[in-house]
Amino acid sequence: ACGGANHWYRTFMGMGIPTQLISPQHVKPYVKSNKNDRNDAQAIAEAASRASMRFVQGKTVEQQDVQALLKIRDRLVKSRTALINEIRGLLQEYGLTMARGAKRFYEELPLILASETVGLTPRMKRVLNCLYTELLNRDEAIG
């Protein structure tokens, strides 16, 4: 089912109209020519008429909420990893390497930022402190 499909599924079911959802990948084999609304509608009708067609269960609002939260969390985790890698890369440009693993990263970065002898300019320390704050905020959002 595509974007908005679950909303319309619930709306039509609430009106007493029997409704079924079809996954787009199950409709694709029935598309005969270029993609447009008419051809899509014909493909959907053809797919729905098949006895072997597998329909998708519509989601409740609560199920959609959980799905959305999981997608958002996944995006936040990926962006946290990217931010950690960015900070590591910046530190490597100054000859500073860190042990692998997020736990060690969180232990070592505050020590590096507090040190006066690591060779970071005040400007770079400010930048890294901002990135570290962004990272901590992201961690809080992830939970």
CA distance 97 to 118: 11
pTM, two decimal places: 0.74
Question: 10 Å Cβ neighbour count for 46?
Answer: 15
The two most distant CA atoms of the chain are separated, in Å, by 73
46 three-class SS: helix
pLDDT score for 1: 67
CA distance 53 to 108: 56
Beta-bridged to residue 22, according to DSSP, are 55
Q: Provide the token pair at 92.
A: 């490597």
Please report, for residues 28, 90, 111, the alpha-carbon distance to residue 129 in angstroms, rounded to integers and kept in the order given. 50, 12, 12
pLDDT score for 127: 97
pLDDT tens track, the chain, 143 positions: 688 999 999 999 999 999 999 998 898 888 888 888 898 899 999 999 998 889 999 999 999 999 999 999 999 999 999 999 999 999 999 999 998 888 999 999 999 999 989 999 999 999 999 999 999 999 999 98
Provide the sign of the torsion angle of the four alpha carbons 79, 82, 87, 88, taken in this order: positive
CA distance 34 to 43: 11
Report which residue type is found at 72. Answer: I
Domain spans of the chain, in order of start: 5-56, 61-142
Q: In which residue are the tokens 């409740």 written?
A: 60
